Amino acid sequence: MTDQVIPNLKDTDIDGAVEALKDMFPDAVSDDTREGYSGVMVDKSRLVEVARTLRDHFGFDYLSSATAVDYGQPVPDDPIDDPVIDGSMEMVYHAYRTSGGPAMCFKTKTDRDQAEVPSLIGVWRGADFQEREAFDLFGIRFPGHPNLKRILLWDGFQGHPMRKDWKEAYYEDEQKPFGSRWPGGHVHRAEEKNAYGKNVQYPADFDLGKLTDVSEERLYAGMGLGVNVEDLSDNTALKTDRLVVNLGPHHPSTHGVFRMIITLDGETIDELEPVMGYLHRNHEKIGERNTFLHNMPFTDRLDYISSMSNNLGYAMAVEGLLENGKRYSPPTYRAEVIRVLMAELTRITNHLWAIGFLLNDLGAFFTPALYAIAEREKILDFFEATAGSRLMCNYMRFGGVASDVPDRLTSVANLVNDQVRDFNTMDYLTELINESLPSAVDELDEYLTDSEIIRSRTIGVGHMSAQQAIDYSAAGPLLRASGVPYDVRRADPYSIYPELDFEVCTRPGGDIYDRYLIRLDEMRESIRILKQVLPRLERTRGENIFAGSKQHTPRIPIGESYGRVENPKGELGYYVVSAGDKKGTQNPWRYHVRAPSFINLTPLGLMSTGQKVADVVAVLGSIDIVLGETDR
């Protein structure tokens, strides 16, 4: 293979690319022939070589997702009769071309007892945090990774919680509904049977009274800072000319419980490492205990600013599995129109919020944020009238949406002098989309874009080139502000986006200022889309919002699916696997979230090196993270 001259295959379609790849690596690459699965299996001894070939010769320059799956038996005494459950661990990768097109899905297997997979960080830097997550939650080691350590859990955590043989201290059953509560209805709070102090588990030889926490020392040592943290705790003078500063986790500028370890040379940043996981609640383990439908409200709690879009990505992933069944009906046209309406309104609410709080981070405390929030409230009024909630909407369903858009937006008076809201919905949306939102975006543009303070604090700060953005798997405004015209709505279209007229916005600078401008651009494009959605919403009034019959706990055909959407913060992907029952399952075997807030932090150190301490707060704000999605 190394002596072979490889042709340029960057324009080959997926099927052609798969066949060409198998021809190049006949002993290492084969089709994934499992029922409901796609892509190729790669021998792990050739994984790095195959990945580099996909990048360099096939044009798959963008690693979107890398996650692990445990195909071990959850209950060895009661084994599942399914050949897919073969006791192995598997890494699953989805790579794309930034020129557009579907995914190249490739996988590699490893033994569970000695789980090791070669690191792909030398091919795509975006594999960094994703491999650390797989190590943390599954125990897979990645030889060649320069900084392999836990990322969401602390060093003293016992075990790897996403493995099928790991049981939490308050474990009841593998899947919901739990037998203790269904069908008998004996509901109780978990806290009633798990007293404080008994709801965690420690290693067998662990003595809490003799605890000496060394996780901080390991964290600093792993950075290679040249600073002995033990020397900092005694009364001797600091023996280095470099200073270690912790920003967060309890700091208003870190957008939640997020921490940055920074080494400084004077006021200039030499190195920065993000430290996260303080809000981790093992969202994905909960998702594998739940039924497929149970997970819909849990997606609200990822990026809680963008719950409608979170719902949409998950619905599309499960619908990808349902397509394998005989009785599947795709969402109706009206359902798709409503989905796009909600998604684009969500994009505007997110970008208004992001710009407002970026100004907070620059020091304009709360006044710009309040201007932005005021307009956002009008969109949330519509969400509340339609879904019943302003933030945690729980609105999308497999095959449609939960309810139609109401004829009127109404409210009730709780106090004597309350103003009661009562608007015709279409009139409300027409005024909002044609008058109110454009005016609000123009107002932000007028007040902020030419501000001398904003320009001096943001232009040339936090720079990331187009190639670096691709290499680090950056997504959304962070990617497009570096000049890369990659948007899932155009690159791999879904719903009714192919019939809508809009542009993929880019900016060439790759700095904080262009990330601010790109969000203004994208709000204007969202308004352009919404103006095209309005007549479609009017034209489809009275049509069905749900395909087929509503099933509260449908059986999902076996197989795998990766559903992704262009969320306001970037690509949000869900990798779901249905396995364990040939008749179809009600609970996901694997439920993984490709969270843009998490992966977009990978280049934070790159963008911050050489900047000042005050700048790092603005760099973080320009990424626009939500810790509920980062930590999951």
Tell me: the pLDDT tens digits for 452-471?
A: 999 999 999 999 999 999 99
Q: Which residue has the higher pLDDT, 182 or 563?
A: 563
If asked whether residues 165 and 287 sit together in one domain, one would say no
If asked whether residues 589 and 441 sit together in one domain, one would say yes
Note down the domain range covering 4.
Answer: 1-153+156-182
Q: How confident is the model at residue 40 (pLDDT cuts 50, 70, 90)?
A: very high
Helix or strand run (H / E) with residue 591: strand 590-594
Q: pLDDT value at position 11?
A: 78
Q: Considering only CA atoms, which of 28, 131, 111, 38 is closest in space to residue 71?
A: 111
Residue 559, phi then psi, degrees to nearest 5? 140, -165
Q: Is residue 577 part of a domain?
A: yes
User: How many structural domains compose the chain?
Assistant: 2
Q: Is residue 4 part of a domain?
A: yes
Q: What is the dihedral of CA 488, 491, 492, 497, to 10 degrees?
A: 70
Q: pLDDT value at position 433?
A: 95
Q: Considering only CA atoms, which of 219, 239, 103, 85 is closest in space to residue 151?
A: 219
Q: Assess whether pLDDT exceeds 60 at residue 165.
A: yes
Beta bridge partners of 63: 95
**Could you tell me the strand order of the sheet in which 590-594 lies?**
559-567, 570-578, 590-594
Q: Assess whether pLDDT exceeds 80 at residue 208.
A: no
Q: pLDDT value at position 422?
A: 80
pLDDT tens digit string along 322-333?
Answer: 988 888 889 999
If asked whether residues 175 and 289 sit together in one domain, one would say no
If asked whether residues 28 and 171 sit together in one domain, one would say yes
Q: Is residue 277 part of a domain?
A: no
Q: Assess whether pLDDT exceeds 80 at residue 280.
A: yes
Q: Assess whether pLDDT exceeds 60 at residue 568.
A: yes
Q: Assess whether pLDDT exceeds 70 at residue 484.
A: yes
If asked whether residues 471 and 330 sit together in one domain, one would say yes
Q: Is residue 208 part of a domain?
A: no
Q: pLDDT value at position 135?
A: 94
Query: d(Cα 106, Cα 48) in Å, to the nearest integer?
Result: 12
Q: What is the DSSP string of 134-200?
A: HHHHH--B-TT-TT-S-SSS-TT--S-TTSTT---TT---SSSSPTTTTTT-----HHHHS-TTSSS
pLDDT tens digit string along 429-457?
Answer: 999 999 999 999 999 999 999 999 999 99
Which CATH number do you get for residue 172?
3.30.460.80
Q: Is residue 211 part of a domain?
A: no
pLDDT tens digit string along 223-278?
Answer: 555 555 555 555 554 454 678 888 877 766 667 788 888 888 888 888 888 888 88
- Residue identified by tokens 């030499």 is 270
Which CATH number do you get for residue 408?
1.10.645.10
Q: Is residue 45 part of a domain?
A: yes
Average pLDDT over residues 414-419: 69
pLDDT tens digit string along 510-563?
Answer: 999 999 999 999 999 999 999 999 999 999 998 898 887 666 667 889 999 999
Q: Assess whether pLDDT exceeds 70 at residue 120.
A: yes
Across 386-431, the runs of DSSP E, i.e. the strands, are 396-397, 400-401, 408-410, 422-424
If asked whether residues 164 and 309 sit together in one domain, one would say no
The answer to whether the bond into 368 is cis (omega within 30° of 0) is: no
Average pLDDT over residues 185-203: 69
| The two three-digit tokens of residue 108, written as one number | 């590699």
Rank 167-171, 199-203, 250-254, 376-380 by mean pLDDT and report only the highest. Answer: 376-380
Q: pLDDT value at position 144?
A: 93
If asked whether residues 355 and 477 sit together in one domain, one would say yes
pLDDT tens digit string along 335-344?
Answer: 999 999 999 9
Q: Is residue 232 part of a domain?
A: no
State the average pLDDT for the chain.
86
Helix or strand run (H / E) with residue 516: helix 512-539
Q: Is residue 175 part of a domain?
A: yes
| The two three-digit tokens of residue 177, written as one number | 């509904």
CA angle 304, 522, 514 (to 5 degrees): 100
